[in-house]
Amino acid sequence: MKIGVVGCAGRMGQMLSRYVLDTDGCELVGGSEKTDAAIGKDIGDIIQREHLGVKVSSTEELFEKADAVIDFTTPKATVSNAVLAAKAGTSLIIGTTGFSKEQQEVIENASKKAVIVQAPNMSIGVNLLFTLVEKIARTLDDSYDIEILEMHHRNKVDAPSGTALGLGKAAAKGRGVELDDVAEKVRNGIIGARAKGEIGFATLRGGDVVGEHSVIFASNGERIEISHKASSREIFVKGALKAALWTRKKHFGLYSMQDVLELS
């Protein structure tokens, strides 16, 4: 399968490029960067490997030559990549997080003409957590307060993390409510007692933490806590490539990692 990596010089982009090269049945056909100044650079030089003869191209060209493009960049870049995917009919794997409602609508629209897999977290462990959280929330009534705590490295730009919001959505689904109606993302000052049914978020940032998430169900007399701790970005890379391979022979549409892992 011919795979392209947008943002190939990024933290995730570099790891992805190396992993595609090392995976049987996959061919790294190119990458793109934010500025045109990078066009023509050998990707081997970017990822500290030998000269590969595989060059950075424009993103348009990448979508023309790849069967699937993997995208861990920024919401703005990913939205225009979704339009390119629809134009070229190329599969798109979206790992980028932090989309606005309007940006998400563009992705949904693009998925009418391309296979798109979008997941705020590509790891198997976190996707299992989504399933378990939904199940626990369905089992417990709203005498259990749901709080979601996450910590990431100091350079992360969006908060709460896409994974924390995904966990919130899973909990809300289990409860039969919409996350937007019950989410409390920021608490500061004299805010009064916690509202019944609220799903709260708390965000920590620091150091080089790859990603830690806990969902807490707290009631009078007991507390259930379920956590996932990532110590290497490799888990996201593996998941993204699994998703890319999975898109072969799939019909146009917007899919999740739950679909890829058959957890839905």
Instruction: Determine if 166 is a binding residue for ligand NAP (CB under 6 A).
Output: no
152 annotated active-site? yes
- Report helix, strand or coil for 130: helix
Is the Cβ–Cβ distance between 161 and 152 less than 8 Å? Answer: yes
Catalytic choice (55, 156, 173, 185): 156
| Nearer to ligand NAP among residue 33 and residue 67 (C-beta) | 33
Of 121, 127, 214, 247, which one interacts with ligand NAP (CB under 6 A)?
121
Instruction: Determine if 5 is a binding residue for ligand NAP (CB under 6 A).
Output: no
Look at residues 52, 114, 105, 79 and name the one whose alpha carbon lies nearest to residue 247: 114
Residue 109 CA, distance from chain mean position: 18
**Sign of torsion, CA 7 12 15 16?**
negative
CA distance 155 to 133: 28
Of 1, 21, 52, 77, which one interacts with ligand NAP (CB under 6 A)?
77
Q: Give the burial class of 207: count Cβ atoms within 10 A of its Cβ; 0-12 exposed, 13-18 middle, 19 or more buried.
A: exposed
- Footprint on residues 130-149 left by ligand NAP (CB under 6 A): none
- Footprint on residues 88-107 left by ligand NAP (CB under 6 A): 95-98
User: Judged by CB under 6 A, which stretch of 27-35, 106-114, 135-143, 215-223 contacts ligand NAP?
Assistant: 27-35
* Catalytic residue IDs: 152, 156
Interface with ligand NAP by CB under 6 A: which residues?
A: 6-7, 9-13, 32-34, 59, 72-74, 77, 95-98, 119-122, 236
